[in-house]
């Protein structure tokens, strides 16, 4: 799955005849259909190179590596919902297999067309997942489409309560007493007693160590975090948690034997309501901002604003394109359908994402202003 670094690397590539190819694919049993769709996209790309001034032989050589992908039978047997391919000079070739469906689209220009991949980067659906038990801690970063384990071994006692009590230098950590002179397997970890109150204090001390370690990583983060744990542990963790956006509802049950895919499915069923509410709030915020001249439904205004880091939230109509050129020096756009132009909505989306804004792709009826291809809330410092 593409990550922010790979995405940024692609945004930093510029030159002539950069090709971006997007096609819908199937997860299984449709490899022939996928290959035919890809061949048709390559034919489109070849024609665009001819229009740009290449002869037939040059265009064929330029697309050689991209065509070689057709020979990799195993590749076509293990796809997802969409395939993105990028081709550039000096045999540059890069592809991404992604769990989102694309409209077939082929573009040629001085930059790659990258905005269709933004949903998998989690700009408007990113969350954290903490799988927590008394025996282990796992941490994940996810979005609507994927989940990725995050290494936290150097931050928290991942071996459970026993490890926490041995290694912790916290004043709240439990005392370590040995059943024999050398400790080892017979070591006993306890507070001041063996009752339920003392067990709860033991768990609190352990969770406090976990939270303290995580906050070293999450101190400036804002996405919601959902916890997977047995129900009686959730209020205990809440009592020591310092992360400002902890989701109130937990994934119920012991997560120790639950794999990432199932954790993701359970997490999204809970956390999706948060993002639906966030989208509704952003749409409401758009209408309020429009009344104060702090928003726009005019792409000619939105594109320059996005290019200069002035867009906080961007709403784009699915399937819409706006071909033209943007002059950074004059801070203005020119709209026309020339073959060497860029999709200016792609520029707006990429720049909004790179500058920390949220980007939504919505059906026309979901747009704050349904008749416009782009709506935006401006950023005011």
CATH class of residue range 127-272: alpha beta
CA atoms of 316 and 376, how far apart (whole Å): 9
- pTM of the model as a whole: 0.76
Provide the pLDDT for residue 102: 87
What's the CA gap between 53 and 366, in Å, rounded?
A: 41
- C-alpha triplet 218, 220, 235: angle, nearest 5°: 50
Domains of the chain, by residue range, sit at: 4-121, 127-272, 293-378
Cα–Cα distance between 325 and 342 in angstroms, integer? 6
CATH of 293-378 among 3.30.1330.30, 3.90.226.10, 3.50.50.60, 2.60.40.1120 = 3.30.1330.30
The CATH number of the domain covering residues in 4-121: 3.30.960.10
If you search the block for the tokens 């050398």, which residue do you land on? Answer: 182
Q: What is the pLDDT of residue 182?
A: 38
pLDDT value for 122 = 62
> What confidence score (pLDDT) does residue 180 get?
36
Terminal CA-CA length for the chain? 34
By DSSP bridging, strand 175-177 and strand 82-88 are unpaired
What three-state secondary structure class fits 340? Answer: coil
Q: Could you say which DSSP state residue 117 is in? A: G
Distance (Å, whole) CA 378 – CA 350: 16
Query: What is the C-alpha separation between 346 and 356, in angstroms, rounded?
Result: 16
Q: Classify burial at 151, counting beta carbons within 10 Å of its beta carbon; exposed 0-12, middle 13-18, buried 19 or more.
A: exposed
All residue ranges of the chain with pLDDT < 50 are: 167-194
């Amino acid at each position: 799955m593409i990550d922010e670094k790979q995405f940024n690397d692609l945004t930093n590539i510029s030159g002539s005849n950069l090709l971006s190819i997007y096609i819908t694919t199937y997860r299984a049993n449709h490899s022939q259909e996928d290959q035919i769709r890809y061949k048709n996209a390559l034919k489109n790309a070849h024609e665009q190179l001819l229009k740009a001034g290449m002869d037939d032989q040059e265009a064929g050589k330029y697309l050689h590596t991209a065509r070689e992908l057709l020979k990799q039978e195993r590749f076509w047997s293990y796809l997802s919902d969409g395939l993105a391919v990028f081709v550039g000079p000096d045999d540059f070739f890069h592809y991404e297999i992604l769990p989102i469906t694309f409209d077939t689209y082929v573009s040629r220009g001085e930059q790659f067309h990258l905005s269709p991949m933004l949903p998998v980067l989690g700009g408007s659906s990113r969350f954290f997942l903490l799988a927590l038990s008394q025996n282990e801690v796992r941490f994940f970063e996810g979005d609507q489409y994927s989940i990725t384990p995050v290494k936290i071994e150097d931050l928290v006692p991942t071996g459970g309560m026993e490890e926490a009590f041995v290694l912790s230098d916290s004043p709240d950590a439990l005392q370590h007493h040995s059943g024999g002179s050398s400790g080892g397997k017979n070591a006993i970890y306890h507070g001041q007693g063996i009752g339920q109150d003392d067990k709860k204090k033991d768990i609190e001390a352990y969770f406090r160590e976990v939270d303290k370690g995580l906050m070293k990583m999450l101190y400036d983060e804002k996405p919601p975090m959902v916890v997977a744990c047995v129900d009686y542990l959730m209020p205990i963790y809440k009592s020591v948690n310092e992360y400002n956006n902890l989701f109130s509802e937990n994934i119920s049950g012991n997560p120790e034997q639950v794999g990432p895919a199932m954790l993701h499915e359970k997490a999204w069923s809970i956390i999706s309501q948060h993002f639906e509410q966030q989208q509704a709030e952003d749409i409401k915020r758009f209408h309020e901002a429009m009344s104060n001249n702090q928003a726009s439904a005019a792409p000619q205004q939105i594109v320059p604003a996005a290019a200069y880091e002035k867009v906080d939230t961007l709403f784009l109509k699915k399937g819409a394109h706006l071909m033209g050129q943007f002059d950074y020096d004059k801070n203005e756009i020119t709209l026309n359908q020339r073959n060497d132009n860029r999709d200016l909505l792609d520029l707006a989306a990429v720049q909004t994402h790179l500058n920390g804004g949220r980007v939504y792709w919505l059906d026309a009826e979901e747009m704050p202003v349904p008749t416009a291809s782009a709506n935006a809330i401006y950023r005011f410092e």
